[in-house]
Structure 1
Amino acid sequence: MGKNAERAAETAEVVDQSVVDVASLASWMDARELVTGSDIRDLRPLSGGTQNIMLRFERGDRSFVLRRGPRHLRERSNRVIRREMRLLAAIADTDVPHPKLIAPCPEESVLGAAFYLMEPVTGINVAVELPEPQASDPAMRHGMGLSVVDAIAKLGAVDHLAVGLADFGRVEGFLDRQVDRWLGELASYQQYPGYPGASIGDVSTVAEWLRRNQPARWTPGILHGDYHFANVLFEPAGTAVAAIVDWEMCTVGDPLLDLGWLLATWPHAEGGVAGMNSALGGHSGFPTEAEVIARYAQHSTRDLSGIQWYAVLACFKLGIVLEGTYARACAGQAPERVGQRLHAATLSLFEQASRRINAA
C-alpha cells in the first residue's frame, strides 16, 4: 500500500521489534479467529505518504496489512488511527474504492498503540512511478484521470448520517472557520527560529477574497481531506482506482473541498505544481479542468457553480500546510532540501490562487 514499496530487510527487523509484539498480535488475532494457530510470517514495512506505520505480513494462507501511528506517538496519533478505522468501517458497504477493514483494535493495551488490520491492495501509485502501459498511452492517462474524479464523487455522495458518521466532524460553521484557522496556523510559524516570515504571495488578498465569496449554502458529507493522485492506487494494468488511501485527514465537512484540492494539484503537461515532485508532471492526456468538473457533476447533485472558490481555498490551505515544513526546516527540525522544495510549492500554489481569483 502507500507508495507500494518496501524498505530494506534490516529495517523490517527494527520495526518488527520496536512497534509490534508479534506474540501479542498473534494472541489478539487468535481471540478473533483471524487465522488461528499459525505463525506470523514475513512481517515487513510498507512505505506511505505519512508518518504512520504500515506493516504487511502473512499468517496461514492470508495476507494482512497493519496500520498504526508512528513509533514515537504524537498527542493525536491514536485518535487519528481510531478515526480512520471508524471511517473505513462506515464505508465498507459503499461503492467507494478503499482498503477493506478486517479488524480494528482501538485499545492501546495490545501493541501500545491503537491499530487496525486491513486487506492488502494490489495497485500502483502513479505519482511515484508511471509504469507501462500507462506511461506510453495518453488515452489510458485520460481514463485514469476520470477514474480519480469518479472515486471522490462516490465518496462525496455517501450519506454520512446513514453510515453512522453524524458526529464525525464539526459541520456547523465548517466553511466559516477555514480562513481564520489557516491564517492562525501560518502565524504560528513565527515560533521557529530562523524562519524569515511568510513571503509566499498576497496572503491577505486571497484570504479576503475567500471571505467575500464564500458559498452561502453547502451540503455536508464525508471529506477525505488530502485528495490527490499520490493518495490513490490504480489497478496495475488498467485505469480504474483500486483504492483511496491515507485517510488520516478525513472528516465530515464540505466534500467539494476534495474536488477543489484535486483541481489545485492536478497534473499538467507543463509540469503541475512547482516543488511537488510527481511522476505525472510533463505527461499529457489527462482530462482538462473543465472535463474534471463536468465528470464530477455527472455523479453528484451538488452545486458546482462556486467550484473555483474551493480550488482557491485548497491552494490557500495546502500552501500554508507545506510552508510549515519550510519553517521547521529553517529551525533545523526538518531537512533543508525538503523545506526549500515545499516552500517552492507554496509559492506556486499562491500564484495559482491569484490566477484563479483574477479569472473568476
Structure 2
Amino acid sequence: MIATAPAGLTERELLAVAAWMDGRGLGSAPLTEVRPLGGGTQNIMVSFRRGERRYVLRRGPRHLRPRSNDAILRETRVLAALTDTPVPHPRLISSCDDPSLLDGAVFYLMDPIEGFNPSLELPAPHAADPSLRRRMAFNIVDALATLGTVDHQAVGLTGFGKPEGFLERQVPRWLAELDSYRRFPGYGGPDIPRLDDVATWLEQRRPSRWQAGILHGDFHCANVMFDRSSTEIAAIVDWEMSTIGDPLLDLGWLLATWRLPQAPTIFGGAFMESAGLPSAAELSTRYAERSSRDIDALTWYIVLACFKLGIVLEGTHARAAAGQAPQRTGEELHAMTLRLFERATHLMDGEQ
C-alpha cells in the first residue's frame, strides 16, 4: 500500500506514475516516502523516493483551469532551456504530456531542491541576522538580472512566446481574463476600486521601446529558494507563467509585492516583515547596476504588475465563489488584489 495525503495524489495515480516511470527507465522499485509539498495555492507537488533517488512531481490543481496543462508543459520547456545557463532553477528529469494518467493533468518530474523557501521558514542564522536577510534580498535581484541576460533564441526558446506587441497586449488581455471570471457561479463580478483608471493610465503611458527576453511571469520572493548554509539562491521556482516578453515586468512584479502590507505567505510572509531588508529603491538601484536594461519607466512596470497580478489573484476568488477553491483562500487573495490596486493607484498619483 502506498501512503498518500489529501493534498497530494491518490494511490491509483501514484501507481500510474510508477508504471510511466518504468517505461522511461526511471527505476523499478515501489514509490515510498510520499508526501505533498506546500507553498503555493494552485498546483500540486508531491515528493517521493524510488530506490536511491528522490523525485518531485508537479502537476496542475485538482480542479484544472482551462490552461493548466499548457502552463505545466511550458514550464517544462523553459526548465529544459535553462539547463546550461547560470540561472538557478529546478533540474528537470522528465515530463509526461499524456493527460490520461492523472485524470486529465499532465505533469513532470524534477530533482528536489535542497534549500528553504523564505516565505515559509527562516533557518536560525537567517532569522537572527538582518545583514543575512539583506544579502538574500540583493541576491534575489541579482538572480533576476542574470535571467535577463539569457539569450532566449540561443537556448532554444524561439517561438516560446510572442514578443511582438507584448506590452500592447497586456491591458486588453488581462481585462478579458477578468471578464471571463463571470462564468463562475456565485461570482458577482469584480469589485476593484479604480480598475478602469489603472487600465487607462497604463495604456496612455506604455513604454515605446524595450528589449525582449525570458520572463518568469510570477517573480516574487516566495518563488525563490535559498541554500540553508548561506544567502545564495538554490533555485527560482514556479515557471508556469513564463514566456518571452519584457523582463522588466519581472522586476516590476518583485517590487509590486515587496513589503506589501499584511502580505500572506505567498508574497513572503514573515520574511517581508523582518528588519534589515533593502527598500524598493535600493533593489531598483541594484538591478540597474547588474543589468544593461533601461529602468527609467520602472513605475509603469510596477503598476502593470499590480494590475496583472491582482487580476490573476481575483481568479481564485472567483473559483472560490464557485466552490472550486477554498473560500478562505479566495477571500485572502481578493484582499491582496485590493492592496495591489491601492499600491498601483498610489504610484500613479505620484507620477501625475
TM-score using structure 2 length: 0.89
Match 1:295 to one of 281, 286, 311? 286
The 1:275/1:266 distance shift into structure 2, 3 A limit, reads closer
Q: Secondary structure at the match of 1:248?
A: coil
| Partner of residue 64, structure 1 | 55
**How many angstroms apart in 2 are the aligned matches of 1:56 and 1:10?**
11
2:163 & 2:321 partners in 1: Cα distance?
36
Question: Partners of 2:116 and 2:6 in 1: how far apart?
Answer: 23
1:306 maps to a residue whose letter is A
Say whether the 8 Å CA contact 2:142–2:290 is kept in structure 1. Answer: yes
Equivalent residue number for residue 232 of structure 2? 240
Give the SS at the match of 2:169.
helix
Selected match of 2:301 from 307, 310, 314? 310
Aligned to 1:21: 16
Instruction: Output the CA distance in 1 between the equivalents of 2:277 and 2:223.
Output: 17
Partner AA of 2:24 in structure 1: M
- Structure 1 CA distance for aligned equivalents of residues 51 and 319 of structure 2: 45
**Whole-Å separation in 1 of the counterparts to 2:243 and 2:49:** 32
Decide whether aligned partners of structure 1 residues 219 and 20 sit closer, same or farther in structure 2, where only a CA change above 3 A counts.
Answer: farther
State the shift of 1:64 in Å: 1.9
Q: After alignment, is 179-188 or 343-352 more displaced?
A: 179-188
Q: How many residues align?
A: 345
CA contact (8 A) 2:55 2:110 kept: yes
Amino acid at match of 2:16: D
Contact 1:65 1:118 in 2 (8 A): yes
Q: Which moved more, 1:155-164 or 1:342-351?
A: 342-351
Picking from 145, 152, 177, the partner of 2:169 is 177
Question: Superposition RMSD on alpha carbons, in Å?
Answer: 2.4
What CA deviation, in whole Å up to 9, does each residue of 1:65-120 have, x standing for no partner? 22233455554333222211111110100000001112333345766753322111
- Percent of pairs identical after alignment? 55
Contact 2:47/2:55 (<8 A) preserved? yes
Residue 202 (structure 1) aligns with = 194
**Secondary structure of residue in 1 paired with 2:157:** coil
The Cα of 1:256 is off from its aligned counterpart by 0.6
- Equivalent of residue 254 in structure 1, options 246, 252, 256: 246
Name stretches of at least 5 consecutive residues in structure 1 with no aligned partner: 1-7
**Whole-angstrom CA distance in 2 between matches of 1:237 and 1:302:** 32
Q: Is the Cα contact below 8 Å between 1:19 and 1:71 reproduced in 2?
A: no
Corresponding residue number in structure 1 for 2:209: 217
The reply on whether 1:42 has 2:42 as its aligned counterpart is no
Matched letter for residue 223 of structure 1: L
Task: List runs of 5+ in structure 2 lacking aligned partners.
Answer: none
Instruction: Write out aligned runs for 1:1-360 (5 A).
Output: 10-11=5-6, 15-30=10-25, 34=26, 36-71=27-62, 73-108=64-99, 113-267=105-259, 272-274=260-262, 276-277=264-265, 278-360=269-351
**Amino acid in the other structure paired with 1:276:** P
Could you say what secondary structure the match of 2:276 adopts?
coil
